[in-house]
């Protein structure tokens, strides 16, 4: 029997405290018992999103909440800007085009961060734009975008800023209100340390004005229904009760540790992971590296094999590249329940696999580099 180490940028391992809650018997959702839980998580989600706006939980993966921001904010023929720098930024384009939106694409090469000045220029050239869609942490490359600066720019226009914070939230500093974010989505399987299946959506007053005028079709993801039921601590449809109960525990754990401490810890793990990659002779991939996943270039001949061998031989799961980056990079996550010891195990096994696959690496270097960074922070 192999012990498994899930070191992928979502899903991440579920801590036992949360897993136990996921195992509790299901109860009915039109009850005071459920309302008490939902009311409590409503407060917790405001803390995690750093917002005074309401945050709704949807039974879907993160993409469902992304789609909900399109269906609820826009109307046929609307023009939007999508600032993308990887697969998940491109997903905004795919969803918007499916709904018949006119997309002004402000994309950069994968591995780079989106350029706030280009968004500013696109807004000047397209004064009728309804919304700017972008990504906080672009998980496919490991790049973090400067949402604070983008928020400053978009807030001076009539457009709303919509951010996919599916990966970065909890692990890396994010302040929805202070950074003037109007709509934002996240999901359960990353920083929240829950099983997949729950998504979140937050809307500001400026975004609600668009919702009131939106003419795109929607039913299950109509946020007006969620708002109405939120007022009585309920959801319009049968919620994933098990995940909601587990979310209450996740929020309790996050509050206990404190967001700032979590941000600092992920920052330290990111520093250690970058050092580990360099010790393996791997070049870091991407400018503006985020703090929840570290990407590095690998020799293409063994790119896919590294990830497979690591999982099959050692039970260690990391992620490879997606789309055009398949086989070219590896991605090592350090968010949620992934900790210092996981990093030491992961990098030691990664080093063994690279040696087995023919790379010339001095034994023990990766773990030593990771350990050095961790010890220096003590």
Closest CA to 63 of 35, 92, 33: 92
The beta strand positions in 9-113, using DSSP E, are 55-58, 79-84, 102-107
Can you tell me the distance from the alpha carbon of 153 to that of 159, in angstroms, rounded to the nearest whole number? 10
Residue with smaller CB distance to ligand PMP, 7 or 280: 7
3-state helix, strand and coil shares in percent for the chain, rounded to the nearest 5: 45, 15, 40
Residue with smaller CB distance to ligand PMP, 166 or 373: 166
What are the φ/ψ torsions at residue 183 (nearest 5 degrees)?
Answer: -145, 145
Residue with smaller CB distance to ligand PMP, 135 or 294: 135
Query: Which residues bind to ligand PMP, rule: CB under 6 A?
Result: 10, 61-63, 88, 135, 137, 139, 164, 166-167, 187
Residue with smaller CB distance to ligand PMP, 62 or 151: 62
Whether the Cβ atoms of residue 283 and residue 306 lie closer than 8 Å to each other: no
Whether the Cβ atoms of residue 95 and residue 62 lie closer than 8 Å to each other: no
Residue with smaller CB distance to ligand PMP, 137 or 350: 137
The distance of closest approach from Cβ of residue 70 to ligand PMP in the complex, given in angstroms and rounded to an integer, is: 13
308 three-class SS: helix
CB-based burial label for 161 (10 Å; 0-12, 13-18, 19+): buried
Can you tell me the distance from the alpha carbon of 17 to that of 26, in angstroms, rounded to the nearest whole number? 17
Beta pairing, strands 160-164 & 183-187? parallel
Can you tell me the distance from the alpha carbon of 105 to that of 96, in angstroms, rounded to the nearest whole number? 11
**Measuring CA to CA, how many Å separate 350 from each of 6, 30, 309, 321, 372?**
13, 49, 9, 16, 17
The distance of closest approach from Cβ of residue 43 to ligand PMP in the complex, given in angstroms and rounded to an integer, is: 24
The distance of closest approach from Cβ of residue 31 to ligand PMP in the complex, given in angstroms and rounded to an integer, is: 28
The distance of closest approach from Cβ of residue 166 to ligand PMP in the complex, given in angstroms and rounded to an integer, is: 4
Beta pairing, strands 102-107 & 293-297? unpaired
Beta pairing, strands 293-297 & 316-317? unpaired
The distance of closest approach from Cβ of residue 351 to ligand PMP in the complex, given in angstroms and rounded to an integer, is: 26
The distance of closest approach from Cβ of residue 279 to ligand PMP in the complex, given in angstroms and rounded to an integer, is: 27
The distance of closest approach from Cβ of residue 96 to ligand PMP in the complex, given in angstroms and rounded to an integer, is: 14
Residue with smaller CB distance to ligand PMP, 61 or 155: 61
Residue with smaller CB distance to ligand PMP, 53 or 135: 135
The distance of closest approach from Cβ of residue 366 to ligand PMP in the complex, given in angstroms and rounded to an integer, is: 25
Residue with smaller CB distance to ligand PMP, 134 or 348: 134
What are the φ/ψ torsions at residue 103 (nearest 5 degrees)?
Answer: -105, 125
- Residue number of the CB closest to ligand PMP reads 62
CB-based burial label for 359 (10 Å; 0-12, 13-18, 19+): middle
Residue 299: count other Cβ atoms within 10 Å of its Cβ.
15
The distance of closest approach from Cβ of residue 83 to ligand PMP in the complex, given in angstroms and rounded to an integer, is: 13
Residue with smaller CB distance to ligand PMP, 203 or 366: 203
């Amino acid at each position: 029997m192999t012990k498994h180490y899930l070191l992928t940028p979502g899903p991440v391992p579920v801590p036992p405290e949360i897993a136990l809650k996921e195992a509790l018997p299901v109860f009915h959702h039109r009850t005071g018992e459920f309302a008490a839980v939902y009311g409590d998580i409503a407060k917790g989600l405001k803390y995690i999103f750093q917002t005074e706006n309401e945050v709704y939980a949807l039974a879907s993966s993160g993409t469902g909440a992304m789609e909900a921001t399109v269906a609820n904010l826009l109307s046929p023929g609307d023009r939007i800007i999508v600032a993308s720098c990887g697969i998940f930024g491109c997903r905004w384009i795919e969803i918007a085009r499916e709904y018949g939106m006119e997309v002004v694409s402000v994309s950069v090469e994968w591995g780079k961060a989106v350029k706030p000045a280009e968004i500013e220029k696109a807004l000047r050239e397209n004064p009728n734009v309804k919304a700017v869609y972008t990504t906080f942490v672009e998980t496919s490359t490991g790049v973090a975008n400067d949402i604070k600066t983008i928020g400053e720019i978009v807030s001076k226009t009539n457009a709303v800023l919509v951010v996919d914070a599916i990966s970065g939230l909890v692990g890396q500093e994010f302040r929805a209100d202070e950074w003037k974010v109007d709509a934002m989505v996240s999901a359960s399987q990353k920083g929240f340390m829950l099983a997949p299946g729950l998504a979140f959506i937050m809307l500001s007053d400026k975004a609600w004005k668009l919702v009131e005028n939106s003419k795109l079709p929607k039913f299950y993801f109509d946020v007006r229904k969620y708002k109405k039921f939120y007022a009585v601590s309920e959801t319009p449809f049968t919620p994933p009760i098990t995940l909601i109960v587990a979310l209450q525990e996740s929020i309790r754990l996050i509050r206990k540790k404190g967001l700032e401490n979590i941000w600092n810890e992920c920052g330290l793990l990111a520093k250690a992971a970058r050092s580990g990659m360099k010790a393996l002779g791997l070049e870091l991939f991407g400018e503006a590296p985020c703090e929840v996943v570290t990407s590095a270039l690998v020799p293409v001949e063994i790119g896919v094999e590294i990830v497979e061998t690591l999982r099959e031989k050692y039970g260690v799961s990391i992620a490879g590249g997606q789309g055009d980056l398949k086989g070219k990079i590896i991605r090592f996550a350090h968010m949620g329940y992934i900790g210092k010891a996981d990093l030491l195990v992961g990098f030691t096994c990664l080093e063994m696999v690279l040696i087995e696959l023919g790379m010339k690496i001095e034994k023990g270097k990766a773990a030593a580099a990771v350990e050095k960074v961790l010890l220096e922070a003590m």
